[in-house]
Amino acid sequence: DGGITQSPKYLFRKEGQNVTLSCEQNLNHDAMYWYRQDPGQGLRLIYYSQIVNDFQKGDIAEGYSVSREKKESFPLTVTSAQKNPTAFYLCASSDQKEGWGGYTFGSGTRLTVV
């Protein structure tokens, strides 16, 4: 079955450490997105990519970085510059050709600073 796989499901980060969250899709979607979810705040866009080797900052990109070297993969790195990284991170993809089909989401990664 086609879908989006996020790993790991749970991740613990020490102060000053960079961590990378994985997101892989086999839907052949052009666009991929990273959202951060905090209680009571809904989803906030971190980064998005419409095509391989291209990506744009979202609303809260500071302290995060991404790459899009392959169509299937869009990893997110949470750097030490992100002062409050504890959150639930969601990766999503959409078919740009269709343009309006909505997002397919992964099952999320819960990141906790220890």
Nearer to another protein, 73 or 105 (CB): 105
Closest CA to 5 of 104, 112, 114: 104
Nearer to another protein, 6 or 82 (CB): 6
Among 110, 111, 112, 114, indicate the residue that binds another protein (CB under 8 A): 110
CB of 6 to another protein, least distance (A): 8
Residue 84 within binding range of another protein, rule CB under 8 A? no
Among 60, 67, 104, 113, indicate the residue that binds another protein (CB under 8 A): 104
Residue 106 within binding range of another protein, rule CB under 8 A? yes
Residue 94 within binding range of another protein, rule CB under 8 A? yes
User: Which 3-state string (H, E, C) describes the chain?
Assistant: CCCEEEECCEEEECCCCCEEEEEEECCCCCEEEEEEEECCCEEEEEEEEEECCEEEECCCCCCEEECCCECCECCEEECCCCCCCCEEEEEEEECCCCCCCCCEECCCEEEEEC
Contact positions vs another protein (CB under 8 A): 4, 6, 31, 35, 40-43, 45, 48, 50, 58, 90, 92, 94, 96, 99-108, 110
